[in-house]
Amino acid sequence: MDGFPTIASAAADLAARRVSPVELTQHCLERIGRLDGQLNSFLLVTGERALADAKAAEARFMAGTQRGRLDGIPIAHKDIYNTAGIRTTGHSRLLEHNVPAADAMVVRKWADAGTVMLGKLATHEFAMGGPSFDLPWPPARNPWNTDRMPSGSSSGTGAAVAAGLILGGTGSDTGGSIRGPAAYCGIAGIKPTYGLCSRAGVLPLTYSMDHTGPLAWTVEDCAILLQAMAGHDPADPASATRAVPDLLSGLDAGVAGVRIGVVRHFHEVDNKVDAPVQKGIDDAVELLRGQGAVVREVVLPSLQEFQACGFLILVAEGYALHEQWLKTRWREYGELFRTRVSLGGLISGADYVQAVRRRRELQAAVRAAMADVDIMLTAGAPTVATRIDDTPKWSNLEKPGFTMPFNVTGQPAMTICAGFGEGGLPVGIQMAARPFEDGLLLRVCQAYERAMPWRATRPAMAG
């Protein structure tokens, strides 16, 4: 069997009976057993559950009642997604023995689509504050170089996808936690429009900026996963009451006539990126222009303004969620989480209200800028993956990130591989679309990804 099947290729092989769901699952479990000791991407491997899921999928295939392209596909969930009867910890000592009674809505949707659940994946504590070395489980490492971090907080998902341990997985994104691992691990990750996918049953970090979404090796695989995640859920008060969009039918329609705005000051002035990242952006612009896109420059408020607004809201809402435990179980948290989130206890009601007011102004500025463009393009991360043992406590305050603007606005944003830099480590570019134009975003990212050679290269350790 190909060591690195994608969801799309595996679905075709399963449908043609070239491989069975059990064989595919055993292939992934073997890779986990052989490689994950170096990566720490899994907190829990559910081998018996996976084989049971695979046998059920195989029976459906034999009976001709398969459920679609995700039937029999091995996946895993970030360990903030509740899984009925299976430990869900948030990578925190506080929930070390927590066993939920019910699945998160997204977990249920993927199970109903026939996926095979391989286990629970490493995160940063409660989806913020890592990598930490003072928790019950070590942090995940980057398969391109295990001395480097896979970013976070969907760190385990990014590492496991890149190493070919899973074909796709869940992530969450409050300030960039899907798109950061996509950039550092050289994979694809989409933060959908706020409200497109349910957050019910997912351990929260903030009330107003949390998003659920998928990570996978390709844009097409992300589209397949997102199609099965999307939909209204009355249990999530932020869930959009819209029909589920068709994210797959126009995926290969190309970019002719699509208007792309390059937010040049983000990556050339506000947080100047390294040369390989800049080259990835420049090459993407030229390729998309050559395919018929109309490219122009877009000016937005500075990255610093988005970062300040988003970070204040994040820590204020995060503190509100954790206040009681921070007061009574302080030392059970890891140092990074408790130090960062406790800052929210010093934020006044007036500060929070002003941040919410500024958020609306920033959203209006982006809407105005997108009146003349369909897609915005900038960096996914400023550099290749940084060393895992070199993360300052306040790294998220030292320089503004490229991902926070689109958590502030809630619009869909996706990071994909755009080449390689120092030491053969991946670099990423990021694109964003208007709210609920997730399908267009996937289409443009697909056009770029299909035209470039990056998907043919996997980490050497995973070979």
pLDDT at 393: 66
Q: How far apart are CA 156 and CA 44, in angstroms?
A: 11
Tokens 């969450």 map to which residue? 172
- Tell me how far CA of residue 407 lies from CA of 288, 359, 402, in angstroms: 25, 10, 10
Q: How far apart are CA 371 and CA 157, in angstroms?
A: 35
pLDDT at 460: 95
Tens digits of residue pLDDT in 244-287? 999 999 999 999 999 999 999 999 999 999 999 999 999 999 99
List, in order, residues 6 or more apart from 302 with CB less than 8 Å away: 265, 270, 400
Q: How far apart are CA 10 and CA 73, in angstroms?
A: 7
Query: What percent of the chain lies above the pLDDT cut of 90?
Result: 96
Collapsing DSSP states into helix, strand and coil, what is residue 154?
coil
Q: How far apart are CA 294 and CA 113, in angstroms?
A: 38
86 is written with which tokens? 């299976």
| Other C-beta atoms lying within 10 Å of the C-beta of residue 33 | 12
| Other C-beta atoms lying within 10 Å of the C-beta of residue 185 | 34
Tens digits of residue pLDDT in 206-259? 999 999 999 999 999 999 999 999 999 999 999 999 999 999 999 999 999 999
pLDDT at 395: 66
52 is written with which tokens? 């049971």
One DSSP character per residue, 250-264 reads: TTTS--TT-EEEE-H
Provide mean pLDDT across the span 13-30: 98
* Cβ–Cβ under 8 Å, residues 128 and 407: no
Model-level pTM?
0.98
Catalytic center residues: 78, 153, 177
Q: How far apart are CA 437 and CA 15, in angstroms?
A: 30
- Residues facing 420 on adjacent strands: 426
The DSSP call for residue 93 is: G
Query: Is 122's pLDDT higher than 80?
Result: yes
Q: How far apart are CA 367 and CA 374, in angstroms?
A: 11
What CATH topology corresponds to 9-304+353-462? Amidase signature (AS) enzymes (3.90.1300)
What H or E segment, with its residue span, contains residue 366?
Answer: helix 349-369
Mean pLDDT of the chain: 97
Task: For the chain, give every domain's residue range.
Answer: 9-304+353-462
Q: How far apart are CA 49 and CA 53, in angstroms?
A: 6
Residues in the chain: 463
345 is written with which tokens? 């206890």
* Cβ–Cβ under 8 Å, residues 192 and 409: no
